[in-house]
Structure 1
Amino acid sequence: MADTTPPWWRRGPVVAAVVVLILLTELIIGWRPLMEAIDQLRTPQWNWVAGALVAEVASMGSYARMQRALLRGAGTKVQVRKHVALAYAAHSLSATLPGGPVFSTTFNFQHMRRFGASPAVASWCIALSGVLSTGALVVIGAVFGILTRSTGSWQTLLTYMGGALLVALTVRLLAQHPEWLIRPARLLLSGANRIRRRPPAAGHARLAGFVDQLRSVRVRPLDFAYAVLLAVANWLLDALCLWMCCIAVGADDIGPAPLVIAYCAGMAAASVPIVPGGLGVVDGALILGLVAGGLATGSAVAAVVLYRLISFGFIIGMGWLVWAVMRARARTPRGVPAR
């Protein structure tokens, strides 16, 4: 029987110890700025805090609507509230669990299937939404990098934009012509079957059925363009939340371009799954970026703490509540009211 014990670096106590060690190190190194930040956090401007909260909620809504636009373009129409609930729950799974992106992708796939999407359409939507989201962040970072003259030239921007567009169009083109993938996919599957000591043709029939489903994916250009705009809006609204948090604690000595560059650095750090939620890693990258943009260390710490309380604490908390409700409803048989 195969050993299913996870490697030592993925075990709960080890992950918890790493998180605690990182937080203690940050606490020791940044004790003085932390005290200054606490002073600023005691009397925030609550109207700007409310604005930051609205911006973060709108950011989550943009991501949910992006996935809805892709599914709708592929022929599956779902209510907005269901997509928003899915976005919150999946985000919480991804941000807080070890190996969270795997759980999040599975959760997304299962619920898109319940929405009525075929396995091929659900897989395609999840893949393309990830490509669009990553590409949008790259383009935003390139644009604001040029505005601050921290990158080479407009040729750099065009390269980034062209690369992001090429990847997105390639995924879309492969969805329209999935037969191009049949031969290489069969070769890979046959190789995997040999390693697993199974018949060479095992799974080929399922692969052919999956490709037939994928042939039905035809997203209208208008829906695709709308999804691209929503992917950009998702990041910009999140950055707006950070900017409002800066103003709320009196740290308004940074311009929009340096702030967005700092934000993109923090989000790039979040893509490295060292610890759940990027605790310590994202915060450090954001603080360093804001300080480089002109803020005092104490002000940068206060702004980032407030931003993370909203974007991580509040949003993740809401996501877990939504996940609990969705799980309870999924377990409730039809015709039986949920308590």
Structure 2
Amino acid sequence: MTTPPALSREHPLPAQDGAPWWRRGSTLACLVAVILGVELFLGWPALTQALHYLRTPDKGWVAAAVAAEIASMGTYARMQRALLHGAGTKVSIRRHAAMAYASHSLSVTLPGGPVFSTTFNFRQMRRYGASPAEASWCIALSSVLSTGALILVGAAGGLLARNTTDWQTLVGYGLIAIAITAAVRVLAKHPQWLEGPVRRLLGSVNKVRHRPPEHGADRLFGFVGQLRAVRIHPVRFAVASLLAMANWLFDALCLWMCCVAVGADRISPIPLLIAYCAGMAAASVPIVPGGLGVIDAALVLGLVAAGLDSASAVAAVVLYRIISFGFIIGLGWLVWLILRRRARTSAAT
């Protein structure tokens, strides 16, 4: 082993990567600016044509697209209401709709939005009278149903696009979704099956935290006891599943109406549905809040592949995002502020 030389004027510190950090940063910024400039130059004709379409959309179809997006949010609220009502807590659809709008805005605009959205949903359901087990059950199952519904819609669109009579794939996806939801229901009905694994996991966590092995067990298994009392009637569960699918289909209908509003009315429903599912799948990658840029690029590419020209695709996607992101998110934040003000007033009185 050799001893490193002492730091002195004869042995100065080497430069990091050969250039100061600000020079490397400015080089990267210039490179990005050049790439964006080239893309803007190449896509300028399509962009100007898209702006022309956006200045002259069909107002009737725009209004219909807004109505479809509102219906999409309404079906999601009704899905959660069906689950919570089936678990034993009945809440008005107005409160569920307010909760859906506010939590959606939290989820798609804040960094780590799903965490804030889940916490907000849980607190609101507790204010509405749901037990911790009922609130947790409703939030978890609504997420499972929503994801499974998107998978089924995408699979159905893919099979219809291939004009095939091979429905085994769709049936397989359906059975997987049913199996997952059934497993969740069975575990909720027999939570004691998890007692052994949970105790071992809790003991390991407490060992790392230097706590007694049974620390927190009473509270945890008290929650499990509440979960055992949660029951959802199969009819309400089926209704919630259908509403989860309707939520995605109304949103896809909004995208189609935006295409018609800008004059791109020749697109077929099935290719549009596939493009829509691709965009929503891209939204599951939380790179930036709201999927800005990610969802838009996936939707534009999907619509171009479906037969639209690039100008029409860009115009339709921009209009769709104005409605589904700008209008709905703005409305959701307004609802959140109202709910927050009411909660503070209640706490003060």
Other-structure match for 2:328: 315
Other-structure match for 2:292: 279
Q: Identify if the C-alpha distance between structure 1 residues 272 and 119 changes in structure 2 by more than 3 Å, giving closer, same or farther.
A: same
SS of corresponding position for 1:294: coil
Per-residue CA shift, 1:247-275, capped at 9, x if unaligned? 00001121000000000000000011000
C-alpha displacement of 1:32: 3.0
C-alpha displacement of 1:39: 0.7
C-alpha displacement of 1:172: 1.2
Larger mean CA deviation between 61-70 and 184-193 belongs to 184-193
Letter in 1 for 2:128: F
SS of corresponding position for 1:274: coil
Q: Map of 1:25-174 to 2, 5 A cutoff?
A: 30-149=43-162, 153-174=166-187
Work out whether residues 142 and 151 of structure 1, in 8 Å CA contact, stay in contact via their aligned partners in 2.
no
Letter in 2 for 1:130: S
Q: Identify if the C-alpha distance between structure 1 residues 150 and 263 changes in structure 2 by more than 3 Å, giving closer, same or farther.
A: farther
Q: TM-score, normalised by structure 2?
A: 0.87
C-alpha displacement of 1:151: 8.4
Letter in 2 for 1:77: K
Alignment partner for residue 190 of structure 1, among 187, 194, 203? 203
In structure 2, how many angstroms separate the alpha carbons of the residues matched to 1:181 and 1:33? Answer: 57
Other-structure match for 1:269: 282
Other-structure match for 1:210: 223
Structure 1 stretches of 5 or more lacking a match? 1-16
Letter in 2 for 1:107: F
Superposition RMSD on alpha carbons, in Å? 1.9
Larger mean CA deviation between 117-126 and 46-55 belongs to 117-126
Per-residue CA shift, 1:21-61, capped at 9, x if unaligned? 9x968756643322111011110000000000000000000
Q: Identify if the C-alpha distance between structure 1 residues 77 and 151 changes in structure 2 by more than 3 Å, giving closer, same or farther.
A: same
Q: Identify if the C-alpha distance between structure 1 residues 213 and 45 changes in structure 2 by more than 3 Å, giving closer, same or farther.
A: same
SS of corresponding position for 1:333: helix
In structure 2, how many angstroms separate the alpha carbons of the residues matched to 1:212 and 1:32? Answer: 64
In structure 1, how many angstroms separate the alpha carbons of the residues matched to 2:305 and 2:235? Answer: 40
In structure 2, how many angstroms separate the alpha carbons of the residues matched to 1:239 and 1:173? Answer: 33
Identity %: 67
Work out whether residues 41 and 249 of structure 1, in 8 Å CA contact, stay in contact via their aligned partners in 2.
yes
Q: Identify if the C-alpha distance between structure 1 residues 30 and 182 changes in structure 2 by more than 3 Å, giving closer, same or farther.
A: farther
Other-structure match for 2:338: 325
Letter in 1 for 2:62: V
Aligned residues: 317
Other-structure match for 1:239: 252
Work out whether residues 286 and 304 of structure 1, in 8 Å CA contact, stay in contact via their aligned partners in 2.
yes
Per-residue CA shift, 1:236-293, capped at 9, x if unaligned? 0000000000000001121000000000000000011000000000000000110111
Q: TM-score, normalised by structure 1?
A: 0.90
Structure 2 stretches of 5 or more lacking a match? 1-28
Letter in 2 for 1:147: L
Q: Which structure has the bigger radius of gyration?
A: 2
C-alpha displacement of 1:335: 9.0
